[in-house]
């Protein structure tokens, strides 16, 4: 029996009535797979090879068929054998403040624009495609955004505590459909979203959940790796410095230690090469304002500028935004925190190196105060700090500690 086109128009109108907020887009509802060992992309005849894709290429499934799938790889559309593919994994990233990137169909500036992603949203990152673009999922939509708009968020280990579980949604809005419900006691990583909501990530599903369905996991208020490994985060503030930072980099390399450097914009401007060397050696870079000012004493606009101008100069120097923020003197309040998406990182062990300028005192203080999960504060602008570091790392290594970045310490 053939139905009239009028009937289909009615069905369509009805669907739009139920789902008024769903925007149709080419990649919506699709999956991302990976070609672990690479593979051939064929034309529709399944015989003519269009391209040989290297190992670990990401493909967007446009149409899943029995033994083959129609896929998109960047600008290319073709067919791949299902046997060559496995589902891709993704991780949580955040859209950096001030940017609301366009999700594109392919990894080119001229590509079809699918949707615009609001500032501060959480998205799933599959991987970086090239120098500019990353493949991501936002809600149900899959596409490409400029990698520079993504920042790594820091989550807290929590549990679903509400007796009926926690419903998760694509957007933090009660009016939107529920995608799944996480059972009571499900462990999640929770990332703060708009008031009253978290973005939660778990093996049972990911999305936005109401904050009152979750509780902080008390067992992990100390860093999650405590039971398995002894780890600490070394942090160095106020650099880069032309000679002191370089001496510290050498000592860190000797102990295979990764550290976090909270740099000021003005010092980066003076010694961009030193920052490049630091980043290239695998260390994490954080923002420590442009002029090393007490932020709460400034007008909001100027405080913001202290942070954003430093983000900018760091990005122009190493090619990516800093991931963390440490306010000078540890001085901040709620309104300062609201100026940035970056987590505020203070410290748990203060070596007071800036005060005593004594290489041996640093070791005494560390010996007394260090424990698993410590974040140790030092400054890479004082010569005695660089001179005393070897003894500190020698002691801590002998105690079984390894040295990781702040992000590695605070995320799984
Ligand atoms: Zn400082």
Residue 379 CA to ligand 1 center (angstroms) comes to 7
The pLDDT tens digits for 276-335 are 999 999 999 999 999 999 999 999 999 999 999 999 999 999 999 998 999 999 898 888
Pairing of strands 197-202, 205-210: antiparallel
* Tokens 């970086």 found at: 128
d(CA 280, CA 278): 6
The Å distance, Cα 156 to ligand 1 centre, comes to: 26
Q: From ligand 1's centre to the CA of 237, what distance in Å?
A: 5
Instruction: State yes or no: pLDDT of 21 exceeds 60.
Output: no
Tell me: pLDDT of 24 over 50: no
Q: 61 near 76, Cβ under 8 Å?
A: no
Alpha helices per DSSP H over 112-258: 244-254
- SS3 of 68-121: the string is EEEEEECCEEEEEEHHHCEECCCEEEEECCCCCCEEECCCCCCCCEEEECCCCC
Burial-class residue 168 by CB neighbours within 10 Å (0-12, 13-18, 19+).
Answer: buried
CA dihedral 394, 395, 398, 404 (to 10 degrees): -70
User: 138 — phi, psi (to 5°)?
Assistant: -130, 120
Measured CA distances, 227 to 186, 230, 389 (Å)? 20, 8, 26
Mean pLDDT of the 79-83 span: 92
pLDDT value of residue 131 = 86
- How many angstroms separate the CA atoms of 174 and 66, rounded? 38
Judged by average pLDDT, the poorest of 27-41, 155-169, 386-400 is 27-41
Candidate list 237, 341, 380, 390, residue with the active-site label? 237
Ligand 1 centre and the CA of 228: distance in Å? 32
On whether the CB atoms of residues 236 and 380 are closer than 8 A, the answer is yes
User: Residue 128: how many CB atoms within 10 A of its CB?
Assistant: 14
Q: Which residue among the candidates 241, 283, 288, 379 is catalytic per the annotation?
A: 379
CA–centroid distance, 149 to ligand 1, in Å, is 27
Strands (E), 253-348: 259-263, 284-287, 324-325
User: What radius of gyration do the chain's Cα atoms show?
Assistant: 25
**Strand partners of residue 116:** 102
| Interacting residues of 48 by C-beta distance below 8 A, sequence separation 6+ | 42
What's the pLDDT tens digit per position in 58-71? 999 998 888 899 99
Single pTM value for the model: 0.50
Between 1 and 111, the more confident residue is: 111
Task: Please indicate whether residue 237 is annotated as part of the active site.
Answer: yes
Task: Give tens-digit pLDDT for 212-270.
Answer: 888 876 433 334 444 457 999 999 999 999 999 999 999 999 999 999 999 999 999 99
Asked if residue 211 lies in contact with residue 162, where contact means CB atoms within 8 angstroms, the answer is no
Q: Report pLDDT for 176.
A: 87
Mean predicted confidence (pLDDT) in 4-32:
49
Exposure string (b/e) for 235-262, b if CB count within 10 Å is 16 or more?
Answer: bbbbbbbeebbbbbbebbeebebbbbbb
How many whole angstroms from its chain centre is CA 93? 4
Kindly report the average pLDDT of the chain as a whole number. 87
pLDDT digits (tens, 9 = 90+) for 122-167: 999 999 988 899 999 998 899 999 999 999 888 888 888 888 889 9
Q: In this model, does residue 20 exceed pLDDT 50?
A: no
Query: In the annotation, is 288 catalytic?
Result: no
Q: Residue 401 Cα, ligand 1 centroid: separation in angstroms?
A: 25
Q: How far is the CA of 155 from the centre of ligand 1 (A)?
A: 25
pLDDT greater than 50 at residue 15:
no
Instruction: Quick: pLDDT tens for 178-227.
Output: 988 998 888 899 998 888 899 999 888 899 999 888 887 643 333 444 44
**SS3 (DSSP) at 319:** coil
Q: How far is the CA of 129 from the centre of ligand 1 (A)?
A: 36
> For the purposes of burial, counting CB atoms within 10 Å of the CB of 227, is it exposed (0-12), middle (13-18) or buried (19 or more)?
exposed
Q: What secondary structure letter does DSSP report for 335?
A: H
CA–CA separation, 406 and 338 (whole Å): 21
Whether residue 346 is predicted with pLDDT greater than 80 in this model: the reply is yes
């Amino acid at each position: 029996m053939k139905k009239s086109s009028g009937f289909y128009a009615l069905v369509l109108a009805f669907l739009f009535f139920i789902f008024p907020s769903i925007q149709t887009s080419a990649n919506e509802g699709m999956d991302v797979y990976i070609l672990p060992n690479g593979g051939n992309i064929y034309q529709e005849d399944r015989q003519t090879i269009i391209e040989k894709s290297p190992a670990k290429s990401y493909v967007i499934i446009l149409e899943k068929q029995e033994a083959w799938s129609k896929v998109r790889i960047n600008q290319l559309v073709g067919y791949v054998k299902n046997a060559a593919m496995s589902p891709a994994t993704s991780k949580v990233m955040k859209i950096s403040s001030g940017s609301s990137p366009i999700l594109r169909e392919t990894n080119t500036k001229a590509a079809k624009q699918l949707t615009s992603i609001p500032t501060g949203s959480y998205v799933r990152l599959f991987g970086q495609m090239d120098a500019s673009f990353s493949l991501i999922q936002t809600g149900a939509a899959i596409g490409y955004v400029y990698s520079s708009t993504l920042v790594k968020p820091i989550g807290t280990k929590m549990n679903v505590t509400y007796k009926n579980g926690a419903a998760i949604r694509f957007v933090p809005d009660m009016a939107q459909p529920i995608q799944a419900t996480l059972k009571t006691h499900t462990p999640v990583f929770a990332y703060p979203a708009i008031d009253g909501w978290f973005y939660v990530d778990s093996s049972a599903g990911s999305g936005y959940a109401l904050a009152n369905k979750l509780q902080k996991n008390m067992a992990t208020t100390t860093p999650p790796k405590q039971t398995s490994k002894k780890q600490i985060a070394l942090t160095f503030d106020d650099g880069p410095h032309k000679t002191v930072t370089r001496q510290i980099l050498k000592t860190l390399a000797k102990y295979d230690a990764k550290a976090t450097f909270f740099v000021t914009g003005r010092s980066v401007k003076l010694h961009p090469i030193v920052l490049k060397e630091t980043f290239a050696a695998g260390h994490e870079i954080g923002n420590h304002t442009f002029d090393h000012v007490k932020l709460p004493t400034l007008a909001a606009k100027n405080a913001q500028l202290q942070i954003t101008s430093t983000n900018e100069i760091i990005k122009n120097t190493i090619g990516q935004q800093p991931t963390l923020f440490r306010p000078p003197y540890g001085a901040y309040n709620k309104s300062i925190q609201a100026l940035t998406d970056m987590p505020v990182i203070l410290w748990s062990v203060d070596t007071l190196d800036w005060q005593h300028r004594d290489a041996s005192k640093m070791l005494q203080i560390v010996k007394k105060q260090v424990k698993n999960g410590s974040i140790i504060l030092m400054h890479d602008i004082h010569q005695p700090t660089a001179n005393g570091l070897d003894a500190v790392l020698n002691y801590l290594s002998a105690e079984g500690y390894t040295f990781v970045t702040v992000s590695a310490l605070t995320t799984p």
